[in-house]
Amino acid sequence: MSNFLHDSIKQKFSIEVDGTIMDMPYLIFAPNGYESMEALPIVLYLHDNNEIWSDESSDIQLLQKILDDKSPCIILAPKTNQNWCDWQPATVAIKLAKEVMETYKCDVDRLYIIGVGMGAFAVYDFIGHESDNNGIAAAVTIGGAYMFELVENIKNVPLWVFYGASDFEPENYSLKMIDELNKAGGANHTSTDYSNSANRISFICNETDMVSWLLAQKRGKRSMVNSAETFREVQHT
């Protein structure tokens, strides 16, 4: 069983952005004995706008599920009361992730990003605006999508899209992103419809294929879900 690093105490990252000091609280999760392990992958988790910062929140449940998988990793969970897509929190979160990768024992070719709701919208922002995709090896979005004009850059990142009928998305943006990625010839992309699930976080925590797929990705080397298909949809009933 994994546990909290730093005894689950919230940390605070401070950095100057255009002359303004920006503070961002965060938690780091790591498996027991990680110091003696080989360099571990790191997962940057971007919460939804209705997440409550507590050990009982759904984001903590998801992070613990990932850590309890057979392949250990370090989880970075920053917190913002703004929109992740605003330039300031986005800038601070990326700089925080890169500092954590330098400070802790992380595999620089295995930086992953997971976003829920508001955080999912930001995932496309993070990977779409930079030519190197901000160094992100793979991404998972849960109930949010946009930045369709950046699809030529977004398509280069292995992506698993979760979506459902209850998502608050104009014109169901997740499905539109799937369509745009298919048109752009994106590879190693997968989608899952969780419309029949009452709780999308619990549903995704039980999607063990996603966890294995995510942790198998590495910058410059893609591990396909199904090499014979461009965009595979995983059906659940």
User: For residue range 114-159, what is the model confidence (pLDDT) as tens digits?
Assistant: 988 888 888 998 898 887 888 999 999 888 777 788 898 899 899 9
Instruction: For residue range 14-28, list pLDDT tens digits in order.
Output: 777 677 777 888 888
> What tokens appear for 8 in the block?
């689950």
The model carries a pTM of 0.84
Instruction: For residue range 46-104, list pLDDT tens digits in order.
Output: 888 766 554 445 566 666 666 665 577 888 888 888 888 777 788 888 888 988 888 88
Q: Which of 138, 191, 150, 145 has its CA nearest to residue 167?
A: 145
Q: Which CATH class name applies to 3-234? A: alpha beta
